Amino acid sequence: MAIFIGVVLTPVNLYLYLAHPAWSWMYLFDPEGVTGLTMASLLAHVAMVVGGWYGGARLVRAGKKKEQLAFYALAGGAALVLLALSLCWGRVGRYGTFREFTDGRALALMAGKLGYVLVVIAAGVATAAGFVGLELMRDSRRVRAR
C-alpha cells in the first residue's frame, strides 16, 4: 500500500493538481485563490486509500460473508465514480484555465495533452490496482489457510 501511495497515487495527484489545477478542481473555483487546498486534497486521497485498504483487509479476514461486503463496497464505489463522471462530464470533458471555462472557451479534453496523459494515467492506475487486487486475493487465501 505504501508503495502504491508513493509511486502511483502521490505523483499522479501532484502532477494533476500542479500542472492542471483548474481542471483538477472541475472549474468549481479559481485555483489561484485556494493554493492550500492542494496539500489537503492530497492528504485526503492518501487517507482514503489507507482507510480502504485497512477496512478491506479487516473484512477479508472476517470471513466469507464480510468478504462479500468488501466486494459490494468496491462495486458501489466504482458505480459512484461512474455516476459522478457522467453527471460532471461537461466539466471533466473540457480543458482550459478557470477563466477560459467560465467564458465558454475551454477546449475538448482530447484536444490538448491532458486527455492523452489521462489515458496513460488510467492505464497505469488500472494496472497497479489490478496488481494490488491480486495481492489481496493471495493474502486472503493465506489467511484462510491458517
pLDDT in tens, 102-129: 999 999 999 989 999 999 999 988 898 7
Whether 145 shows a pLDDT value over 80: the answer reads no
pLDDT at 7: 83
Query: What are the angstrom distances between the C-alpha of 24 and each of 1, 30, 70, 137?
Result: 24, 11, 29, 32
Supply the pTM of this predicted model: 0.74
Whether 142 shows a pLDDT value over 70: the answer reads no
Distance CA 53, CA 43 (A): 15
pLDDT at 146: 59
Domain boundaries, the chain: 2-145
Task: Give mean pLDDT, residues 53-79.
Answer: 80
The helix/strand count (H/E) of the chain reads as 8, 2
- Give the end-to-end CA distance of the chain in Å, rounded to a whole number: 23
Q: Strands of 1-146 (E only): list them.
A: 94-95, 107-108
Distance CA 78, CA 86 (A): 12
Q: What is the mean pLDDT of the chain?
A: 85
Query: What are the angstrom distances between the C-alpha of 16 and each of 12, 22, 63, 118, 141?
Result: 6, 9, 38, 9, 37
Whether 140 shows a pLDDT value over 70: the answer reads no
